[in-house]
Chains A and B, each alone.
Chain A
Amino acid sequence: MEQSEEDREGEKMTTIVLRGKAAVVGTVKGPALVSSQPISFLGMINTETGAFVQKGHDLNGQNISKKILVYPYGKGSSGDSLRIWRCARNNKAPLGIINVIADPIHVQGALLADIPMVYKLDKDPLKVIKSGDTVEIRGNEIRIEPA
């Protein structure tokens, strides 16, 4: 991890940079939505609205659409590869995905939908990133601007 000071319109901001492995190469920037729990799109996410609807999950009541979705790993159904594509077709997909470890099913969905995805970062993204932080994915690197 590297901390760099950047001047933005006269205001000092600390940007945190983490490096990892791009599963889907791309550049994207948006607000982070962080979960400490694994995610299965099946049953948890309404692919028509992006709404997260699993009671007992820390993202219950949130919407994943246009977010940089940060979670430990994908679990459960292999149909998630199609569900991630379906979210994108409905314009309700996350902007980007950051995982601790990568489940091939979620990678295959992100590849279909062309959603930038990074995993295996040099610091635990679940500890470094807070929901509402602005996060940019640039290939193998992510840049975090704390809210």
Chain B
Amino acid sequence: MYLSPEEEKMLKGESGDLAREAMRYLVKLGDAFDAKRMIDIDYSYCFVGTAYWGPGSLTKGLLKQAVNQGVRVKVPTTNWNYGFEADPGTQRFVKIPPAAFTQLTDEARLCRKFGIVPVNTCTPYLATDISWHPLGSHISSVESSAITYFNSVLGARTNRDGMAAFFSAITGKYPEFGLHLDENRVAKYLFNVSAKLENATDYSALGYAVGKICGLDIPILNGIHRAKTGDLKALSTALSTGGGVPLFHIPGITPEFTASHRTDDQGLEEKLTITSEDVKAVYEEFSSPEDKVDFVCLGCPHSTVHELSKIASLLRGKKVNKRVTLWIMASPQTISLAKLSGDLDIIQGAGGVVLTTCPMLSPGKPGPFHTFSNPDYSMGNLLTDSAKMAYYSTNIMRPSGISLCSLEGCIDGAIRGRSGG
């Protein structure tokens, strides 16, 4: 791979040990995909302090090195959820072991010194800008749902990244391969969507079904004419759950769908139709035989402020059933807006719990720590509006049953303690 004098310098360690380690990693990653050179990135969205599954943290070690060596991020950088509640008011709802809390608090402190803007969310695109206008920007992003949203809805360019995003933040560089190149952003599949999409959960079901078919490939979704931000968030998320679809195009909606993409036979290997039956099949896959509701989980990924408003309007004058736990996840920024609008008071007053955590990945879980390896724990019957939550919760939160339904249906279930009509 060609390296510029500046990149060579980093690789030789002339810009410090951590920059050398980061550049070595990025060169190896580039070699894995036959990248010809490095490119400058505009933004990084990376993991730090997110994955406490036991002692020893890779990111804490790296952050310590960075802070000790006086290294700061080279590009605007945001973080994923820290995975814990800094707010004492909500801490009582999530059981975080002291060791995890200490480690994550340490990492949060190190992040500030490292120069990360602490958005603490899986939806950074709702919380802040990426500094540059996103269309055509080269970025490095974690979070499968955000990757697909950045690429598809905003037209930024990122591969499905993991730890490379952290090393890109240190160097400002990324190997040029995959979705950073025009030729790899072209669709392979064309789906004519005849299914009626009435709410974000329908988009979630659509994404899950299409993701299973596409795997890592790019689809065009034809026949969608108007969509809310929350719908596109749900679609992005489920495409990366059913499969690993990093980019989709919707004629008239996504910015990269241009004359270069055609919806006739040109270059498309597969032409398929997604009907209401296909969407219904996803609801049936996540359909608990019991109608009793124990746990309702919304905000996977984190809710938009308008989704919180909708939840508040549905809960106004009502109470969450005493037997039911209602969790709603959102970013700290979104929550502070909901506080200003009064929606937060309504939700909390009705008995809903609003959190910035992720019940699946952070140590902040409804049940014992390491819920994953606690075979005795079950959260009971789960109701959610997200196919991602429904899919991954099976082995992590061990619900006795899972039902996927609309946000309205979820809130109705939380109030009545029963799902369905």
Contact = CB atoms under 8 A, between A and B. Distances in A.
B28 A103 contact: no
B215 A73 contact: yes
With most chain B CB atoms within 10 A of its CB, the pick from A77, A85, A109, A117 is A77
Interface residue SS majority, chain A: mixed
A48 B244 contact: no
A86 interface: yes
B243 A38 contact: yes
Interface stretch (A6-14, A28-36, A39-47): A39-47
Nearest to A77: B144
A27 interface: no
B67 interface: no
A54 B399 CA distance: 14
A75 B215 contact: yes
A46 B370 CA distance: 10
Contacts of B164: 81, 104, 108
B58 interface: yes
Nearest to A55: B394
A9 B165 CA distance: 49
Interface string A3-27: 0000000000000000001111000
Nearest to A72: B215
A108 B161 CA distance: 7
Given A48-B373, A104-B161, 18 more contacts: A43-B392, A43-B395, A48-B370, A49-B373, A54-B395, A55-B394, A75-B244, A76-B392, A77-B144, A78-B47, A78-B147, A79-B50, A81-B142, A102-B32, A104-B33, A105-B144, A107-B29, A108-B163
A126 interface: no
Given A78-B144, A79-B51, A38 B162 contact: no
B78 to A, nearest CB: 14
Contact of B160 (A43, A85, A86, A103): A103
B302 to A, nearest CB: 15
A101 B216 contact: yes
Contact of A24 (B28, B143, B178): B28
B56 interface: yes
A89 interface: yes
Interface residues on A, range: 35 or more
A100 B240 CA distance: 19
B240 to A, nearest CB: 7
Contacts of A47: 53
Interface string B39-77: 000000001001101101011000000000000000000
Interface of A: 21-24, 38, 42-44, 46-49, 53-55, 72-83, 85-86, 89-90, 101-105, 107-109, 111-112, 117
A76 to B, nearest CB: 6
Contacts of B360: 42
A89 B395 CA distance: 21
A81 B162 contact: yes
B361 A102 contact: no
A103 B25 contact: no
Contacts of A101: 215-216
Contacts of A73: 215-216, 244
Contacts of A89: 56
B396 A79 contact: no
Contacts of A90: 54
A53 B395 CA distance: 7
Nearest to A86: B53
Interface string B147-183: 1000000000001111110000000000000100000
Interface string B7-40: 0000000000000000001001100111000000
B391 interface: yes
A125 B58 CA distance: 32
8 contacts: A42-B360, A42-B392, A78-B144, A79-B142, A82-B50, A83-B51, A86-B53, A112-B25
Nearest to A81: B162
